[in-house]
């Protein structure tokens, strides 16, 4: 038994001895009630997920643990060698999807409960029926943590426990406003229970007493279903019976959703041509970070052949686009195009007009070599053009990583003189298209799969 406190608030936590080996079909609530008949209102019962899984028949045959992990994985977050951090079917991000091959017969693995919140509700209801007490129940499992060595228990299922304590809107001891403080109460309780359960002591259940203020919430059929998202904190701050699902950070707010290589691959996959943007302003800092990524591209002769003109002023964008439109119309008239055909083609440039931010990447040939014959001089320029393209691709991918949409349009390449005049650029700068940048107005359509074999020749 562990006691924390003194003159101020205190609580007790102890492990429950005497539980038998749990098998499929066992009633966990009855087993816990028999081993700890002195449970009282306001206690929090901490149940290791392993015995919940055993009782629920989650022991499955799996000669290949990796195959079992594959089956439980929704998304790979990070991979290093054989170690995988994944998001599993329960929405939890953890090593190996929570698949456990320890303390199980050879050729079997133990999977996490299908719905840990429902499991917690069932145990809580069973304890109420067996002992007439109103307790909170947490189903716990062992997690590693980013940036921290070692393991600790966290709550993966909850019923009757305020899993989050939202202190936002209050003040600290010095009167300073609290604007971002939401305490993961359920995880703190799980870790406290782990101190007395231990990892190898054969004590899968613990009880915390003295923190009755975190216990409450109904046992209705819809309570704590875990199907919602958000903070899980009720308007009164109590948290109700929201379940442990409320502890899982929404992907929109998760700054560390991917490992390094996975983030690169996702940014590349997110790189799409976006033609419709919202009115939301673009963060100039995000564009500059994308430029910083762009200029890491390879280039010949240790040169830096990229320049990025950031057209941030609405007046400058309008002047540039009007001048480009006039030059384009003049070209089309010389080609003998009809007014209708000219109007259709000019409309293709609307993506640049509709974007709140415009970037003009330019190629500079500083540091290039002159050989004196057409073949080698042409190859020299092509090397620089390829380097410029690599820089533009880096830029587009980095914008996707910043959750910004973009569209690369080649139009400035057809009126370079006009672009240089309007933007006041040196004559040695060659505009290599324009990039419309903004926040996408909608989700991108699904991209069709491309067979890599169709783009590969092996010799």
| Model pTM score | 0.62
Supply the pLDDT for residue 183.
87
* pLDDT range class, residue 403, cuts 50, 70, 90: confident
Higher-confidence position of 446 and 335: 335
Higher-confidence position of 457 and 63: 457
Q: Which of 105-114, 268-277, 432-441 is the most confident on average?
A: 432-441
Q: Which of 76-85, 177-186, 221-230, 325-334 is the most confident on average?
A: 325-334
Q: What is the pLDDT of residues 2-59, one digit of tens each?
A: 555 555 678 999 999 999 999 999 999 999 999 999 999 999 999 999 999 999 999 8
* pLDDT range class, residue 238, cuts 50, 70, 90: very low
Mean pLDDT (whole number) for 76-83: 79
Which CATH code fits 266-455? 3.40.109.10
**Range of weakest confidence among 123-137, 172-186, 222-236:** 222-236
Q: Give the span between the Cα atoms of 298 and 315, in whole angstroms.
A: 34
Question: Residue 350: is its pLDDT beyond 90?
Answer: no
Supply the pLDDT for residue 236.
32
Q: Give the span between the Cα atoms of 363 and 414, in whole angstroms.
A: 14
**Range of weakest confidence among 91-105, 215-229, 280-294:** 215-229
Closest CA to 257 of 435, 21, 77: 77
Supply the pLDDT for residue 170.
79
Question: Residue 200: is its pLDDT beyond 70?
Answer: no
Question: Residue 216: is its pLDDT beyond 50?
Answer: yes
Question: Residue 126: is its pLDDT beyond 80?
Answer: yes
Higher-confidence position of 30 and 236: 30
Question: Residue 232: is its pLDDT beyond 50?
Answer: no
* pLDDT range class, residue 262, cuts 50, 70, 90: low
* pLDDT range class, residue 169, cuts 50, 70, 90: confident
Mean pLDDT (whole number) for 389-416: 91
Supply the pLDDT for residue 449.
80
Q: 308 is written with which tokens? A: 């990025």
Domain boundaries of the chain, sorted by first residue: 2-58+113-253, 266-455
Mean pLDDT (whole number) for 284-312: 95
* pLDDT range class, residue 258, cuts 50, 70, 90: low
**How does the average pLDDT of the chain come out, rounded?**
86
Which CATH code fits 2-58+113-253? 3.30.1330.100
Supply the pLDDT for residue 221.
38
């Amino acid at each position: 038994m562990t006691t924390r406190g003194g003159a101020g608030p205190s609580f007790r936590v102890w492990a429950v001895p005497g539980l038998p080996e749990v098998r499929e079909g066992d009633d966990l609530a009855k087993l816990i009630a028999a081993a700890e008949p002195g449970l009282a209102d306001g206690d929090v019962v901490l149940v290791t997920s392993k015995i919940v899984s055993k009782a629920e028949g989650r022991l499955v045959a799996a000669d290949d643990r990796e195959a079992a992990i594959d089956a439980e994985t929704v998304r790979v977050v990070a991979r290093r060698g054989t170690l995988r951090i994944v998001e599993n079917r329960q929405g939890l991000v953890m090593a190996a999807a929570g698949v456990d091959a320890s303390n199980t017969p050879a050729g079997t693995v133990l999977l996490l409960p299908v719905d840990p919140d429902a499991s917690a509700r069932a145990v809580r209801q069973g304890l109420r029926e067996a002992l007439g007490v109103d307790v909170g129940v947490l189903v716990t499992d062992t997690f590693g943590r980013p940036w921290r060595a070692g393991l600790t228990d966290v709550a993966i299922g909850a019923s009757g426990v305020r899993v989050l304590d939202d202190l936002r809107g209050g003040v600290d001891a010095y009167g300073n406003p609290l604007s971002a403080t939401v305490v993961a109460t359920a995880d703190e309780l799980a870790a406290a229970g782990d101190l007395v359960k231990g990892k190898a002591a054969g004590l899968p259940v613990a009880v915390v007493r003295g923190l009755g203020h975190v216990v409450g919430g109904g046992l209705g059929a819809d309570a704590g279903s875990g199907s919602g998202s958000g903070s899980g904190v009720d308007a009164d701050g109590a948290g109700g019976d929201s379940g442990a699902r409320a502890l899982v950070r929404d992907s929109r707010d998760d700054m560390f959703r991917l490992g390094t290589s996975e983030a690169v691959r996702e940014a590349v996959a997110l790189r799409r041509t976006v033609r419709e943007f919202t009115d939301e302003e673009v963060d100039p800092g995000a564009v500059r970070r994308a430029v910083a990524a762009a200029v890491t591209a390879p280039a010949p002769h240790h040169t830096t052949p990229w320049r990025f003109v950031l057209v941030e002023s609405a007046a400058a964008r309008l002047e540039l686009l009007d001048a480009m439109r006039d030059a384009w119309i003049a070209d089309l008239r010389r080609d003998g195009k009809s007014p209708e055909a000219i109007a259709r083609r000019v409309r293709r440039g609307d993506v640049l007009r509709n974007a709140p931010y415009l970037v003009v990447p330019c190629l500079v040939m500083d540091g290039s070599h002159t050989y004196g014959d057409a073949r080698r001089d042409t190859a020299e320029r092509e090397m620089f053009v390829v380097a410029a393209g690599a820089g533009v691709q880096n830029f587009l991918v980095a914008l996707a990583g910043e959750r910004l949409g973009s569209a690369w349009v080649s139009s400035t390449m057809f009126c370079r003189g006009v672009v240089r005049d309007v933007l006041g650029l040196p004559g040695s700068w060659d505009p290599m298209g324009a990039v419309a940048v903004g926040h996408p107005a909608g989700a991108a359509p699904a991209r069709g799969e491309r067979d890599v074999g169709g783009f590969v020749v092996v010799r």
